[in-house]
Chain A
Amino acid sequence: MVGVARFSTVAARFARAKGYRIPHDVQLRKPILPTIDNLKIREDHPLWEFFHEKQFVRSVDDLDIQGRSWTVQDLRKKSFEDLHALWYVCLKEMNKIQREAVLYEDISSSKIQQCMELETALKNSMLSIRQVLSEREAGLRNAREEFKVVGEEYLKEFKEEYLNEENVETDEWFDKLERLQYAIFGINSTYESVIINEEFLEGIKYVSSLYFDKFSSQIEEKAVTELKDIVEVYKVFENGSTLDGFKIAIENIVEYRESGLVIPRSKEIMVIQNLVDEKINEANQIPEPESAEISA
Chain B
Amino acid sequence: MSSLAKQGSKRYGRELSRYPHYIRKMFDQMQERAQIPAFRSEYRQVDENERYNNPRQWLVQPGDTVMITKGKFAGTLTKVVALQKETNRVFLEQSETKRVVVPKQFWQPGQTSHIIDYPLPQHPKDLKVVGTIVNDDGTEKKIAADKLVFKGEYWDEDYQKMMPYRRIKYNENIIIPWPRPDPVEDCIYSTDKNLVNERTFFPNSIIYSDSPIDLINSMRHPLMKRPYKWDKQYLTKSDIKRLVPPQPLLSDNKKAGILERQQIKENLPSKPLPETINLVGDKVSQFLNNITDPHLAKFINKNSPDYKDPKDLFIEKQKKLYDEKIKENQQLNKIKSFVEAKYKLKRTKNLHI
Contacts and interface: CB of A to CB of B under 8 A. Distances in A.
Interface of A: 62, 64-67, 74, 76-82, 93, 98, 101-102, 105, 112, 115-116, 118-120, 130, 133-140, 143-144, 147, 179, 182-186, 199
A187 B18 CA distance: 58
A89 to B, nearest CB: 10
B141 to A, nearest CB: 38
B219 A130 contact: yes
B45 interface: no
Interface string B157-178: 0000000000000000000000
A interface, by DSSP: helix, strand, loop or mixed?
A: helix
Contacts of A147: 206
Contacts of A62: 188
B105 to A, nearest CB: 13
B200 A82 contact: yes
A186 B202 CA distance: 15
B200 A79 contact: yes
Given A66-B185, A101-B4, A130-B219, A77 B231 contact: no
A148 to B, nearest CB: 10
Given A78-B201, A101-B4, A118-B189, 11 more contacts: A67-B187, A80-B210, A80-B211, A98-B4, A105-B3, A133-B215, A134-B220, A137-B216, A143-B206, A144-B206, A184-B205
Given A133-B211, A134-B230, A199-B207, A79 B216 contact: no
A115 B3 CA distance: 14
Contacts of B231: 138
B75 interface: no
B206 A183 contact: yes
B255 interface: no
Contacts of B203: 136, 139-140
9 contacts: A64-B187, A66-B184, A66-B190, A78-B201, A82-B200, A102-B2, A134-B229, A136-B211, A182-B204
B219 A133 contact: yes
Interface stretch (B130-138, B191-199, B258-266, B313-321): B191-199
B181 interface: no
B interface, by DSSP: helix, strand, loop or mixed?
A: loop
Interface string B214-247: 0110011000000001110000000000000000
Nearest to B4: A101
B312 interface: no
A295 B184 CA distance: 43
A67 B189 contact: yes
Contacts of A182: 204-205
B209 interface: yes
A98 B211 CA distance: 30
B306 interface: no
B222 to A, nearest CB: 13
A137 B294 CA distance: 95
B2 A98 contact: yes
Contacts of A67: 186-187, 189-191
Given A186-B205, A199-B207, A138 B187 contact: no
B208 interface: yes
Contacts of B281: none
A137 B219 contact: yes
A80 B204 contact: no
Nearest to A63: B187
B41 to A, nearest CB: 16
Contacts of B201: 76-80, 82
A77 B199 contact: yes
A3 B153 CA distance: 79
Contacts of B200: 77-79, 81-82
